[in-house]
Amino acid sequence: MKQFFKISGLILLLCTFFFATDSFAQRGKKKKKPRNFGLEKKLIGNWNAQSQQAFYPQITLSAGNRATLGSMAGNLNGTYVVRGRKLIIKGKLEGAPANAKKRTFRYNVVSIQGRTLTLKRKNKISRYTK
């Protein structure tokens, strides 16, 4: 009987060691890219779209990470953060109720040349000027 408990204890110990060292068990969450403060400073301002096919005709980014996306339907107010080369804006429409879900917009910042900002989202490119 004692030998049975020793063997079952040994098997239990081996199983816990095997499953604890499994590569799947050690995987964690994907690490976030750090904030890009230099690019954030360059993006602060009022950006107007150059073409009609833009995502939003007007994007306003202010200090303190406040963002406003202007469109015909109304303004979308929220916050923004720049991680790597991605501009992430979270917010909801101006007249939306308090329990309305926030929407997230992710843009790749392709380039900033002088007063021209180029954003890419879902294989569509938009240009904005200050």
pLDDT digits (tens, 9 = 90+) for 92-101: 988 888 899 9
Count of CB atoms situated within 10 Å of the CB of 40: 17
pLDDT digit string (tens) for 1-35?
556 555 666 576 555 655 555 555 556 777 888 99
Q: Name the residue among 79, 86, 77, 78 with its Cα closest to residue 39.
A: 86
For domain 37-129, give the fold. Answer: Lipocalin (2.40.128)
CB 74 within 8 A of CB 94: yes
The rounded distance, in Å, linking the Cα atoms of 91 and 76 is: 6
Q: How confident is the model at residue 73 (pLDDT cuts 50, 70, 90)?
A: confident
Q: How confident is the model at residue 91 (pLDDT cuts 50, 70, 90)?
A: very high
